[in-house]
Every structure is written in structure tokens, then in C-alpha cells.
Amino acid sequence: MDKASGTTTFWFLKPFLLPSSFFLAICLRRRRRRRIKKERIFNSAVRLDTIGVDQGRGIVMSSPSKRREMDLMKLMMGDYKVEMPNDKMQVFFVDFHGPKESLYQGGVWRVRVELPDAYPYKSPSIGFVNKMYHPNVDEMSGSICLDVINQTWSPMFDLVNVFEVFLPQLLLYPNPSDPLNGEAAALMLHDQSAYEQKVKEYCRLFAKPEDVGNSPEDESSDEEMIENEYDSSDEQMLGKPDP
């Protein structure tokens, strides 16, 4: 019984008799909580995207340096020989074996890898140290022409992808239409047998497993040897004048 008004009000009806402003305040508070929750989720997603997420494996990296350490560790666990001149892990060398069923089978190349500060959001710099005869590899600098590294790199890729997929594909399927070595591209297009012979000759002289990591002087002597061999073969084709 409501003594002031002389009416009877049951206790379970009292919540429904509260002022409308009270219910409005509750609705606004719930809406504000939902908005704050959404903002927190969004900010967390942005933060994770900033520090780095390996989307392919669902692994969150705390910093680019942690990602470099993990990718390098995975590479070393994959039976690749890795040599680091210092402890910064941004520049190191990897021994790469020519893929099976290719012209480069049996050869071993020392590959220089440089990881930029923005890795894995920026692609690594890859180059062969010892000489390779390939349309898409510069013979002097060892730099490579490969779209997946130079243009279409993604943070989903790692160093294992480079050595188990990208480089083998480069050696198995050369592209003479976009060359870094114009001579190799022209020879491949016009004389396939001569091209294959020269590739194997470079492998024999510059990619012997026991000679990986030799000094530049050793490589220069091998280069002179191959030039002399091809010069002598050219002289035989032209014919030497009788004395």
C-alpha cells in the first residue's frame, strides 16, 4: 500500500515503475561499454599488426629482431650451413645446394643474405658469392632477378621459403625474357646445348662443394681457366693457320 497516494503497489512491479531517465542512463552505459570494448579490440589488432604477425603459422612476434632470430633458427634447423660474421644476425651466409634434376645439381653456392631493419615487411637482399651462369643472376655481383623477392614479397614468407622454394624455382625455370645476364639469356634462346654445357662448366669450376668460401684469388684463377678453354675452342672452330 502506497500510503501517500492510497494505492496498492506490488513489490515485483516496482522496477517497472522507475523513471524513464533511469532506463535511459542504463542503455547509454551499456552502449558506452560496447563501444569501449570494440575500441580495445581494434587497438589490439593494430598493435599486433604493427609488431608483426606470421599469418601463415599464427605466430605473434614481439619485434622484428625476434622474427629474425626465429627465421634464422628455423633455417639452421633445416640442415643449412649458416655462417655469421658477427652477432647482429642481419648479414650472414648460407650454403645452398643446386636442386636435383637441374643443370646445377651437385653444385654448392655461398649465398649472402642481408635482412633489412623492416624485415619481414621488407624483403631480404639475396646474392650468390661464387659465380653462377644463369640468365637471371648477374655474373659479377651475384644479385638475382626474382619477382617474389624484389616486388611481391610478403611478411608471410620466411628464409626457409627462400632456400627451399624460391631459389630452387629460379634455377629450375630460368626466364631469359627478363635477364640480368644477357649473354646467358641469348645463349639459352639460340643454342640450348651450348648453354647447358657452359652452366655445367661454371658448376665444375666455381661451385665445387670443397671450394665453397674460397678467396676471390682462387675464383679469378678458375675464371681465367674457363676463358682460356673457350678461347681455345673458338680457335679450333675457326681453324689455326698452318705454320
pLDDT tens digit string along 71-101? 999 999 988 999 988 777 889 999 999 999 9
Verify that 34 and 101 share a domain, yes or no: no
| Residues with catalytic roles | 145
Residue 168 backbone dihedrals phi, psi, to 5 degrees: -60, -40
Verify that 75 and 175 share a domain, yes or no: yes
202 in any annotated domain = yes
Verify that 85 and 122 share a domain, yes or no: yes
What letter does residue 80 receive in the DSSP assignment?
-
Q: Structure pTM?
A: 0.64
CATH number at residue 175: 3.10.110.10
Per-residue pLDDT, averaged over 123-135, amounts to 96
**Grid coordinates given for 142:** 651475384
Please give the residue range of the domain that contains residue 26: 19-51
Residue 227 backbone dihedrals phi, psi, to 5 degrees: -65, -40
